């Protein structure tokens, strides 16, 4: 159709005004390579790398063009034809995709290493001696917003089964994620506790692993498929009614395992089951769980805490789960939810985009923080670890009130619930 309805939804087009930086332009470039007018060469690769993969173009498209599937195929083709990546990008890709994320034990070691770094005094020494200046600026800034690691994943803390509190509503399996469990283990623990409180028996299958999202979005499809199969097997064997994710970026690939494995007939049925039974934590809590016992504001003080919600692009655009977090936050006693302008627009985190494409990521972050500052919120609440870190970075750099905090919705809900006690 080439109607262009997707253009105003695209953050990179809005920033640059260039057709080549728009979904329609990128699709035209993809078609030109398929037709042999151009090859999947370096300029094509660069143009595809500028895409955030936020998929804001999909809900805007009247023809239901599956842009997410197109960009994955394009990146797959680039990987097949690319003989060399630029220096450190190649190193990061290899380390992350092959050496780290697919291995739960190595991710656990990463969490332990981070804990040691933070608690041994090394972090303080590094910061005092300005050693961070040796790193590229983007990485040095990321160090400042590292979450406090516990070095202990959710299974080590709670075991593989946690029973429902009170009358049971159902049995769910928790998708713990690789990065979430290494760096945000407390959020995982609280996710299970919220589910249990809401009436769900929770299984946390140990055989699960990384969701494969970063692999699928970066042209490493074969590895993404392998990871998907391991996850499907693990949750099928656990006999759960639903698979719960607390990270929009992971959830979006989990609900598309059927597409990922569409050319493997022996996996079709199981992949379709897995995809259709995956839900975000906010969605299940709001739609199916027993109401959680949240704290009343102290002394009857109304609307004491002001929050704004930054959408996870993948939760909103792929899982269609943008409403439930807002419903949960809006229903909290003593909390005022203030909508920020363009809350659904990407913050620039986008997997490892903020590391590989720092210039555009920083432009988007600065704009996002202008909108967040406009709400005068005490908290920016998010539903994805990447968005959470990016919001922390935004607060560090651009917040008009340094008391502003970025927080995962699970941590925020859990704290409001715990506050009652």
Q: Which stretch in 22-30, 90-98, 140-148, 412-420 sits in contact with ligand SF4 by CB under 6 A?
A: 22-30
**Ranges within 156-195 binding ligand SF4 (CB under 6 A):** none
**Ranges within 293-322 binding ligand SF4 (CB under 6 A):** none
Smallest separation (angstroms) from ligand SF4 to the CB of 14: 9
Smallest separation (angstroms) from ligand SF4 to the CB of 359: 14
Element (H, E) at 82: none
Q: Contact between 6 and ligand SF4 (CB under 6 A)?
A: yes
Integer Cα distance of 343 and 37 in angstroms: 38
DSSP secondary structure letter of residue 54: -
b or e along 207-225 (b: 16 or more beta carbons within 10 Å of the residue's beta carbon)? Answer: ebbbbbbbbbbbbbbebbb
Among 367, 359, 406, smallest CA distance to 387 is for: 406
Smallest separation (angstroms) from ligand SF4 to the CB of 376: 28
Integer Cα distance of 217 and 256 in angstroms: 12
Integer Cα distance of 131 and 140 in angstroms: 9
Smallest separation (angstroms) from ligand SF4 to the CB of 318: 10
What is the dihedral angle through the alpha carbons of 280, 309, 179, 230, rounded to the nearest 10 degrees?
A: 20
Q: Contact between 386 and ligand SF4 (CB under 6 A)?
A: no
Which of 26, 176, 368, 416 forms a contact with ligand SF4 (CB under 6 A)?
26
Q: Which is nearer to ligand SF4, 43 or 330 (CB)?
A: 43
Which of 29, 30, 40, 67 forms a contact with ligand SF4 (CB under 6 A)?
67
Q: Which is nearer to ligand SF4, 65 or 132 (CB)?
A: 65
Look at residue 406 and give its three-state secondary structure. strand
What is the dihedral angle through the alpha carbons of 41, 45, 48, 53, rounded to the nearest 10 degrees?
A: 140
Q: Which is nearer to ligand SF4, 172 or 350 (CB)?
A: 350
Q: Which is nearer to ligand SF4, 65 or 338 (CB)?
A: 65
Q: Which is nearer to ligand SF4, 18 or 122 (CB)?
A: 18
Smallest separation (angstroms) from ligand SF4 to the CB of 217: 10
Which of 12, 208, 312, 354 forms a contact with ligand SF4 (CB under 6 A)?
12
Tokens of 377: 């919120």
Which of 55, 75, 229, 414 forms a contact with ligand SF4 (CB under 6 A)?
55
Smallest separation (angstroms) from ligand SF4 to the CB of 253: 14
Integer Cα distance of 372 and 374 in angstroms: 5
Integer Cα distance of 138 and 354 in angstroms: 8
- The β-bridge partners of 305 are 335
- Counted residue by residue, the chain has a size of 421
Among 149, 145, 140, 156, smallest CA distance to 104 is for: 156
Integer Cα distance of 265 and 120 in angstroms: 51
Q: Contact between 213 and ligand SF4 (CB under 6 A)?
A: no
**Ranges within 35-54 binding ligand SF4 (CB under 6 A):** 51-54
Q: Which stretch in 59-67, 153-161, 378-386, 388-396 sits in contact with ligand SF4 by CB under 6 A?
A: 59-67
Binding region for ligand SF4 (CB under 6 A)? 1-6, 9-12, 23-24, 26-27, 51-57, 60-61, 63, 65, 67
């Amino acid at each position: 159709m080439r109607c262009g309805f997707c253009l105003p939804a695209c953050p990179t087009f809005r920033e640059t005004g260039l057709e080549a930086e728009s979904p329609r332009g990128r699709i035209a470039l993809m078609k030109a390579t398929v037709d042999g007018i151009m090859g999947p060469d370096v300029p094509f690769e660069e143009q595809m790398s500028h895409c955030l993969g936020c998929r804001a173009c999909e809900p805007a498209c009247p023809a239901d063009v599956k842009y997410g599937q197109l960009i994955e195929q394009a990146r797959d083709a680039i990987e097949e034809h690319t003989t060399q990546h630029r220096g450190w990008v190649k190193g990061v890709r290899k380390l992350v995709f092959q050496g780290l994320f697919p291995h739960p034990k190595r991710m656990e070691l990463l969490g332990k290493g981070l804990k040691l770094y933070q608690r041994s005094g090394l972090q303080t020494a590094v910061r005092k001696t300005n050693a961070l200046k040796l790193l590229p600026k983007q990485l040095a800034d990321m160090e400042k917003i590292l979450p406090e690691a516990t070095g202990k994943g959710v299974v080590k803390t709670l075991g593989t089964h946690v029973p429902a509190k009170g009358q049971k509503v159902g049995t769910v399996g928790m998708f713990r994620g690789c990065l979430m469990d290494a760096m945000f283990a407390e959020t995982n623990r609280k996710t299970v506790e919220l589910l249990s409180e809401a009436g769900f028996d929770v299984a946390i299958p140990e055989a699960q692993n990384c969701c494969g999202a970063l692999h699928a979005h970066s042209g490493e499809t074969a590895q993404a498929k392998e990871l998907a199969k391991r996850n499907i097997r693990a949750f099928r064997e656990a006999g759960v009614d639903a698979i719960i994710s607390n990270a929009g970026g992971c959830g979006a690939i989990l609900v598309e395992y059927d597409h990922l494995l569409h050319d493997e007939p022996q996996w079709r049925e199981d992949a379709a089951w897995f995809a259709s039974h995956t839900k975000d934590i906010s969605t299940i809590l709001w739609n199916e769980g027993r109401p959680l016992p949240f704290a009343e504001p102290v002394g009857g003080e109304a609307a004491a805490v002001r929050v704004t919600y930054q959408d996870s692009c993948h939760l909103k655009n792929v899982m269609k789960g943008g409403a439930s977090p807002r419903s949960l936050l809006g229903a909290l006693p003593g909390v005022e939810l203030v909508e920020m302008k363009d809350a659904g627009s990407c913050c620039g985190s986008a997997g490892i985009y903020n590391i590989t494409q720092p210039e555009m990521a920083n432009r988007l972050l600065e704009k996002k923080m202008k909108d967040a500052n406009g709400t005068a919120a005490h908290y920016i609440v998010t539903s994805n670890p990447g968005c959470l870190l990016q919001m922390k970075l935004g607060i560090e750099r651009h917040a008009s009130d340094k008391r502003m905090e970025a927080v995962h919705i699970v941590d925020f809900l859990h704290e409001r619930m715990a506050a009652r006690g």
